[in-house]
């Protein structure tokens, strides 16, 4: 038997003890004063401590079905922010609002296409941030809290929304029959609360002690059952991704140096494909057409592929793809990471 | 993983700790207590279904306007003990989505304990109680447990006129049918009225985000709702925008607004409203949204060279015609009317109030439970409804005027009505000066003397002129109105409307307010809910100008000769010893009375 199926029963007692303890502490207070409940409720004060670590993120979108906002949390004194890698970040200017209402902007440090986690950095340092601990893994049945700006309810200095839930399962996303349409197929924490709403992605999951134990993922709906999944990426996955982004080991390090164009570079046209017309500030580099018997076709590139990386460097627009391509000598091989449907494919382009 | 089975065995064997059982017992108790006050709201034919909460032992029930609206003027209330009672609509607040209902005939209705919802904090336990999906045929409420996800939330009107300001956000499941029902804290005390969720692509069921109107807002509106009127929300007469530093700046202002008269101008920064800091445009809307029109609240703003603390009177958000359109169902220009979208329609609208799943006309709904409902056991509702334009139920307006003008409740003869046709003679002096004051009033002539100057006053004509020109003798008009209110009463003075309860500067308790059209001018009488004595009379002629405000202070028992037709017999009555008079909240002229003489006016009989 799958141990994860039995495990909830083992944890029920613990959950009741945990949740009721907090609750009882609130309830059983003598009426010392009208504000006494507020001061000593440990859950309230714990959640108040988590709030300054949360940020509201605004960027591209706002069109039909695509929100222009999402959630994130601070992870370093230098002002690094962990969030979901999404179309919201496809903006020349990523706007950040801190919990006290302070407005600033952030730059993309890098992203991990496997987990769809991105790290941003805002200009100013911060005193409030979550410590990343890969060992902070909740058990099935544990009480957790989701902090996110779902539905964009909070603006300015307003606190992000808090929801309470229980970890129902720890299981690979790919285990779902019929499979959700998602790039990430690894382990997730399945939650019993309606957490993964618009704008919630990138939000924090904390435990009763206020420790960061996961990051809320993107909205996922099963096409067949019309069921929405509420889930979070577990901390080992989140911290692993962030560490790889920091270490530059992930494929996704953004370019920092000045690009040196090759004298005899590759060109999109000579490789035998074309991209969607460049109409936006950051037009996603989707493959529009492929010429028969071209290098592109021979290498396995297909129409509607979205190019994410070229030689492990992040491509955030058609323009940046063309700039990066122009640095590679036309005699050299290079690699592409493309998203095709819900799969990630690595293609080797050999001229 | 091999230890999992052992772990299971060990843990299952463990008895629940006493602290768990104790907590559970407390929770059960809180839910049991709170459930008693939760009611189901049905149409008079027993159909449909929303929720509500009993807020007073004499049978006032709060629910959502979008719940009561389809049911018309009379409906049925299902108590949690299975009893069905009839109720009438009292007052409605279409903008704030509140409706006040009244059951009659008993004084032991199970009222909820009302808490100060400003003390609610994110992370506290709470639970929603109500009748989601009209599940309960025995009227036992359904409880859904959660935490407070956010406080002081602002939710845009979003295609409807219902604006939720300063509301409480919870992850307790709010589903169709929960509308109008109570949100309780973990102790089972009332903190809000559930009514709305963030519904987007997941359909019109719980999405983990529900909103409750704060019970504080409901209580601020309660006095107005009891007037039986269609009550309105407020406007400050100016709009704001936030600048690049996050300051809230006046972007437009009406010259006719009270704010303009208090010195607010384009470009000034709003610092605080109603003694709460304004840090964002949403916050300003939050604070403004919890007050009914008519309210006067504190405003702090910053001009180019100073910080100003003042009071502003809030205007009405809608015109009477607009409000009438709202309640008669005719659409306003643009947005659709609320509560007309079928539950399963795939609509992209967000934040629409949850819809009751069983519209009154729906014959085929399997959740319909009306056949099982017992017949009403109480029907004392005859004569408790009176239709009138601009009112939910005019009967209650008359009832409130009767209440504030009654003398019975506070007992003694010293507060009783004065006979009509008296000759009054008030003498005193302007405080801090040697200027003497005298006001002589008979049914057909009046005069006021200030120092050496005596000014004749007409009992009917010339009042607008006096007020418009801010004439010195204006305070005498307020004294005259005081006499008339206490002798012939407001109904004999002119068209009279009870407005509600409202704050008065210098008084902790909110005062009853009544508007009377007296000839050329509008008069506003503020009376104490406890003693029914007049604390303030305002007279208005031109709405673009400040009202005359005359405060009646320091009521004292006064011996009077000449009442009851006998010159030798004395009577004790409460009379004000001082008045403060000003136009707007300016420096008042204070008059201390030294002597008041009253005698029967023989000639007029």
Contact flag A155-B280 (C-beta cutoff 8 Å): yes
Burial of B74 (0-12, 13-18, 19+ CB in 10 A): middle
In A258-297, the residues whose Cβ lies within 8 Å of chain B are none
Is B530:B410 a contact under the CB 8 Å cutoff? yes
A197 → closest Cβ in B124, B146, B208: B208
Residues of chain A with CATH 2.30.42.10: 268-349
- Which residues of chain A does B31 touch, with a Cβ-Cβ cutoff of 8 Å? none
- Which residues of chain A does B114 touch, with a Cβ-Cβ cutoff of 8 Å? none
Interval B233-270: pLDDT, tens: 999 999 999 888 889 999 999 999 999 999 999 999 99
- Two structure tokens written together for B10: 């060990």
Which residue has tokens 């709904």? B365
**Closest residue in chain B to residue A29, using alpha carbons only:** B187
Contact flag A193-B7 (C-beta cutoff 8 Å): no
Burial of A198 (0-12, 13-18, 19+ CB in 10 A): buried
The residue among B328 and A68 whose pLDDT is bigger is A68
Active site residues of B: 66, 97, 179
Shortest distance, CA B214 to any CA of chain A (angstroms): 17
Report the pLDDT value the prediction gives residue A257, as an integer from 0 to 100.
52
Contact flag A26-B152 (C-beta cutoff 8 Å): no
Q: Does A163 touch chain B (CB under 8 A)?
A: yes
Burial profile B319-343: b = 16 or more Cβ within 10 angstroms, e = fewer: eeeebebbbeeeeeeeeebbbebee
- Domains of chain B: residue spans and CATH: 22-229+347-377 (2.40.10.120), 234-316 (2.30.42.10), 410-604 (2.50.20)
Mean pLDDT (chain B, rounded):
85
Reading chain A (351 residues) residue by residue, the pLDDT tens digits are 343 333 444 444 344 434 433 333 333 333 333 444 444 578 888 889 999 999 999 998 776 667 889 999 999 999 999 999 988 888 878 999 999 989 999 999 988 888 999 999 998 999 999 999 988 889 999 999 999 999 888 888 899 999 999 999 999 887 665 555 677 888 999 999 889 998 999 999 999 999 999 999 998 887 777 778 899 999 999 999 999 898 876 544 444 456 778 888 888 888 999 998 888 878 888 999 999 999 999 989 999 998 988 887 778 788 888 888 988 888 888 989 888 876 778 888 888
Best of A65, A105, A194 to mutate (most B CBs within 10 Å, chain B): A194
In A172-201, the residues whose Cβ lies within 8 Å of chain B are 193-195, 197-198
**Which of B557, B515, B517 lies closest to B404 in space, CA to CA?**
B515
Report the pLDDT value the prediction gives residue A90, as an integer from 0 to 100.
81
Is B1:A7 a contact under the CB 8 Å cutoff? no
B209 → closest Cβ in A16, A34, A197: A197
Tally of helices (H runs) and strands (E runs) in chain A:
7, 20
Percentage of residues in chain B having pLDDT higher than 90: 60
> Coil, strand or helix: which one is B403?
helix
In A119-148, the residues whose Cβ lies within 8 Å of chain B are 145
Which residues does B328 contact at the CB level (< 8 Å), separation at least 6? none
Is B542:B529 a contact under the CB 8 Å cutoff? no
Report the pLDDT value the prediction gives residue B432, as an integer from 0 to 100.
84
What is the rounded average pLDDT of the residues B198-204?
68
Q: Does A34 touch chain B (CB under 8 A)?
A: yes
**Which of A45, A52, A57, A148 lies closest to A99 in space, CA to CA?**
A52
Is B513:B499 a contact under the CB 8 Å cutoff? yes
- Which residues of chain B does A17 touch, with a Cβ-Cβ cutoff of 8 Å? 17, 19-20
> Coil, strand or helix: which one is B409?
coil
Q: For residues B348 and B192, what is the distance between their CA atoms, to the nearest angstrom?
A: 27
DSSP for residue A270: H
Q: Among the residues of A185-234, which ranges form H helices?
A: none
**Closest residue in chain B to residue A193, using alpha carbons only:** B208
> Is the confidence at residue B570, as pLDDT, over 60?
yes
**Which of A279, A329, A331, A325 lies closest to A301 in space, CA to CA?**
A325
Contact flag B279-A150 (C-beta cutoff 8 Å): no
- Which residues of chain B does A101 touch, with a Cβ-Cβ cutoff of 8 Å? 246, 279-280
> Is the confidence at residue B148, as pLDDT, over 50?
yes
- Two structure tokens written together for A193: 């609360």
**Which of A336, A329, A313 lies closest to A266 in space, CA to CA?**
A329
- Bridge partners (DSSP) listed for residue B53: B38, B62
What is the rounded average pLDDT of the residues B305-329?
87
The pLDDT-based confidence of B406 (bands split at 50, 70, 90) is: confident
Shortest distance, CA A286 to any CA of chain B (angstroms): 27
Is B199:B354 a contact under the CB 8 Å cutoff? yes
B20 → closest Cβ in A16, A160, A228: A16
Q: What is the number of other CB atoms lying within 10 angstroms of the CB of residue A263?
A: 7
Q: For residues A173 and A123, what is the distance between their CA atoms, to the nearest angstrom?
A: 35
- Which residues of chain B does A44 touch, with a Cβ-Cβ cutoff of 8 Å? 121-124
The terminus-to-terminus CA distance of chain A in angstroms comes to 51
Q: Does A29 touch chain B (CB under 8 A)?
A: no
Shortest distance, CA A18 to any CA of chain B (angstroms): 9
Question: Looking at domain A54-247, which of 2.40.50.140, 2.40.10.120, 3.40.1000.10, 3.30.1360.200 is its CATH number?
Answer: 2.40.10.120
How many interface pairs between A and B have CB atoms less than 8 angstroms apart? 154
Cα-based torsion angle of the residue sequence A162, A163, A164, A170 in order, rounded to the nearest 10 degrees: -110
Best of B149, B242, B281 to mutate (most A CBs within 10 Å, chain A): B149
Architecture of domain A268-349: Roll (2.30)
- What is the ipTM metric for this complex? 0.77
The residue among A164 and B202 whose pLDDT is bigger is A164
- Which residues of chain A does B206 touch, with a Cβ-Cβ cutoff of 8 Å? 194
The pLDDT-based confidence of B161 (bands split at 50, 70, 90) is: low
Is B54:B183 a contact under the CB 8 Å cutoff? no
Interval B346-382: pLDDT, tens: 333 334 444 443 344 333 343 444 445 555 555 567 7
Is B226:B500 a contact under the CB 8 Å cutoff? yes
Best of A101, A164, A219, A228 to mutate (most B CBs within 10 Å, chain B): A164
Which residues does B546 contact at the CB level (< 8 Å), separation at least 6? B261, B583, B584, B586
**Closest residue in chain A to residue B3, using alpha carbons only:** A3
Shortest distance, CA B194 to any CA of chain A (angstroms): 17
Residues of chain A with CATH 2.40.10.120: 54-247
Contact flag B209-A156 (C-beta cutoff 8 Å): no
């Amino acid at each position: 038997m799958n141990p994860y199926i039995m495990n909830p029963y083992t944890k029920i007692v613990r959950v009741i003890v945990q949740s009721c303890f907090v609750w009882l502490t609130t309830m059983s207070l003598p009426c010392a004063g009208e504000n006494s409940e507020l001061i000593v409720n440990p859950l309230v004060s714990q959640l108040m401590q988590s709030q300054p670590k949360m940020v509201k993120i605004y960027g591209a979108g706002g069109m039909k079905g695509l929100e222009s906002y999402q959630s994130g949390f601070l992870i370093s004194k230098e002002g690094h922010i962990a969030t979901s890698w999404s179309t919201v970040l496809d903006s020349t200017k990523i706007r950040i609002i801190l919990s006290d209402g302070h407005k600033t902007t952030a730059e993309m440090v890098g992203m991990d296409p496997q987990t769809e986690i991105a790290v941003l950095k805002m200009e100013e340092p911060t005193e409030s941030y979550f410590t990343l601990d890969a060992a902070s893994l909740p058990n099935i049945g544990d009480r957790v809290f989701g902090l996110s700006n779902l539905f964009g309810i909070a603006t300015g200095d307003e606190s992000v929304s808090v929801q309470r839930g229980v970890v129902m399962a720890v299981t690979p996303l790919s285990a779902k029959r019929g499979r959700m349409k998602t790039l990430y197929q690894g382990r997730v924490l399945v939650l019993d609360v309606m957490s993964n709403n618009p704008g919630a992605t990138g939000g924090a999951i904390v435990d009763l002690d206020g420790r960061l134990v996961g990051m809320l993922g993107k909205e996922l709906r099963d096409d067949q059952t019309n069921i929405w999944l509420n889930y979070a990426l577990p901390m080992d996955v989140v911290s692993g991704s962030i560490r790889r982004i920091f270490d530059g080991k992930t494929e996704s390090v953004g370019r920092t140096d000045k690009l040196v164009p090759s004298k005899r570079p590759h060109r999109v046209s000579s490789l035998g494909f074309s991209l969607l017309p460049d109409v936006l500030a950051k037009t996603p580099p989707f493959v529009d057409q492929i010429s028969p018997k071209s290098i592109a076709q021979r290498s396995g590139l297909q129409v509607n592929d979205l190019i994410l990386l070229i030689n492990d460097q992040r491509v955030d627009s058609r323009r940046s793809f063309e700039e990066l391509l122009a640095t590679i000598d036309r005699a050299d091989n290079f690699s592409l990471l493309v998203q095709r449907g819900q799969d990630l494919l690595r293609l080797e382009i050999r001229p | 993983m091999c230890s999992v089975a052992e772990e299971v065995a060990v843990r299952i064997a463990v008895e629940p700790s006493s602290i768990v059982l104790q907590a559970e017992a407390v929770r059960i108790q809180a839910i049991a207590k709170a459930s008693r006050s939760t009611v189901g709201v049905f149409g008079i034919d027993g159909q449909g279904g929303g929720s509500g909460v009993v807020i007073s032992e004499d049978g006032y029930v709060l629910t959502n306007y979008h719940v009561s609206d389809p049911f018309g003027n009379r409906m049925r209330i299902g108590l949690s003990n299975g009893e069905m009672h009839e109720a009438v609509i009292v007052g409605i607040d279409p903008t704030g989505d509140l409706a006040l209902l009244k059951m009659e005939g008993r004084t032991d209705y199970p009222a909820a304990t009302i808490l100060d919802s400003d003390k609610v904090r994110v992370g506290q336990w709470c639970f929603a109680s109500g009748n989601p999906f009209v599940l309960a045929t025995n009227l036992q409420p359904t409880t859904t447990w959660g935490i407070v996800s956010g406080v002081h939330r602002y939710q845009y009107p979003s295609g409807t006129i219902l604006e939720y300001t300063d509301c409480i956000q919870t992850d307790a499941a709010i589903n169709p049918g929960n509308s109008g029902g109570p949100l309780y804290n973990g102790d089972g005390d009332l903190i809000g009225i559930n009514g709305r969720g963030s519904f987007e692509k997941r359909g019109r069921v719980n999405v983990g985000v529900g909103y409750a109107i704060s019970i504080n807002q409901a209580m601020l509106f309660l006095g107005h709702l009891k007037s039986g009127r269609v009550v309105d929300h407020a406007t400050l007469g100016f709009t704001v925008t936030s600048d690049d530093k996050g300051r809230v700046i006046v972007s437009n202002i009406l010259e006719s607004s009270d704010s303009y008269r208090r010195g607010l101008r384009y470009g000034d920064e709003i610092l605080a409203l109603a003694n709460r800091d304004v840090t964002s445009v949403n916050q300003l809307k939050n604070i403004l949204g919890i007050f009914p029109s008519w309210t006067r609240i504190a405003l702090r703003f910053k001009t180019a060279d100073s910080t100003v603390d003042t009071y502003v009177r809030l205007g009405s958000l809608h015109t009477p015609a607009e409000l009438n359109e709202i309640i008669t169902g005719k659409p306003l220009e643009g947005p659709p009317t609320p509560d007309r979208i079928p539950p399963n329609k795939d609509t992209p609208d967000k934040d629409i109030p949850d819809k009751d799943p069983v519209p009154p006309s729906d014959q085929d709904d399997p959740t319909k439970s009306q056949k099982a409902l017992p017949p009403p056991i109480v029907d004392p509702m005859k004569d408790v409804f009176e239709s009138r334009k601009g009112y939910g139920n005019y009967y209650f307006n008359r009832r409130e005027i009767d209440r504030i003008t009654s003398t019975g409740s506070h007992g003694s003869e010293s507060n009783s009505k004065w006979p009509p046709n008296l000759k009054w003679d008030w003498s005193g002096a302007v405080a801090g000066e040697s200027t003497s004051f005298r006001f002589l009033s008979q049914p057909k002539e009046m005069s006021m003397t200030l120092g050496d100057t005596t000014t004749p006053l007409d009992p009917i004509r010339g009042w607008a002129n006096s007020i418009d020109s801010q004439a010195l003798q204006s305070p005498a008009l307020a004294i005259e109105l005081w006499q008339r209110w206490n002798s012939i009463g407001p109904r004999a003075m002119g068209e009279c409307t009870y407005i509600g309860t409202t704050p008065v500067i210098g008084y902790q308790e909110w005062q009853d307010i009544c508007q009377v059209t007296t000839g050329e001018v509008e008069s506003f009488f503020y009376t104490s809910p406890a003693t029914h004595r007049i604390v303030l009379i305002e007279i208005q002629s031109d709405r673009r100008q400040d009202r005359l405000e005359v405060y009646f202070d320091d009521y004292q028992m006064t011996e009077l000769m000449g009442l009851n037709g006998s010159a030798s017999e004395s009577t004790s009555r409460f009379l004000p010893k001082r008045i403060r008079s000003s136009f707007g909240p300016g420096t008042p002229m204070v008059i201390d009375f030294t002597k008041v003489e009253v005698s029967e006016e023989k000639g007029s009989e």
